[in-house]
Structure 1
Amino acid sequence: MNKQKSRVKHIPQRTCVGCRETLSKRGLMRIVCTPDGVRYDATGKAEGRGAYLHDKKSCWERALRGSLAHALKTELTQADRDYIAQIISELKDDE
């Protein structure tokens, strides 16, 4: 008798750099450090060092205070901070 085991698909996990909560990779937003500066990566496949965040303002604001720069291993320029502030303004408020 040959039983077939159903394979469980591996779901990649990532940690939000704002609140340190672990979730599935697709449940978080990715920020990537490119030669042009820090950018939001909607596809999750852009080249460069990435960091993951919830879609909550509190996580982004907390990450902007230092953990985002540390995770990306770079210094955030004023242009990077302005870009991130623009993203924060478009996010939903925490509930």
Structure 2
Amino acid sequence: MVAADSERTCIVCRGRAAKGQLWRVVWEEGRLRLDESQRRPGRGAYLHPARQCWLKRQEAERWERALRRPKGSLRQEDVVALQQELSCLTGVAVGVELLSKTPRKLRL
């Protein structure tokens, strides 16, 4: 069982936060997927819900290391697809937030 106050590191900014304050991403069915329940099987990587973290350019190699995937198994297109998914889910389009100016944890 995981302690309620366990901390994780954001894959982008390397900042630490409580697990519940970060989004969990897993490699599932051949793509990066947001794990909104934080209970999907497999290794997860975490990132802040703040748009300055997930909109920032991210290298596929960083995700490979965090998810312990073989080198070359993720493409830059996989990372871009995740960013587009997060943009759609949060209402952010081309750097303009449509729903709220306050970053918050996504609850689906």
Q: TM-score, normalised by structure 1?
A: 0.70
1:69 corresponds to 2:64: yes
Q: Which has the higher helix share?
A: 1
Greater displacement, 18-27 / 33-42:
33-42
Structure 2: runs of 5 or more not aligned: 103-108
Q: TM-score, normalised by structure 2?
A: 0.63
Return the offset for 1:82: 4.2
Q: Which of 14, 34, 48 is equivalent to 2:42? A: 48
Q: Which of 54, 67, 91 is equivalent to 1:60? A: 54
RMSD (Å) for aligned C-alpha atoms: 2.7
Secondary structure in 1 matching 2:58? helix
Q: Which of 17, 24, 27 is equivalent to 1:23? A: 17
Note closer, same or farther for the CA distance 1:32–1:19 as it changes in structure 2 (3 Å cut).
same
What is the aligned partner in structure 2 of residue 5 from structure 1?
Answer: none
Return the offset for 1:12: 1.2
Q: Which amino acid aligns with 2:74?
A: L
Greater displacement, 10-19 / 42-51:
10-19
1:41 and 1:33 map into 2 onto residues whose CA distance is: 10
Runs of 4 or more off by more than 6 Å in structure 1? none
Structure 1: runs of 5 or more not aligned: 1-8
Return the offset for 1:50: 0.3
Identity of aligned residues (%): 31
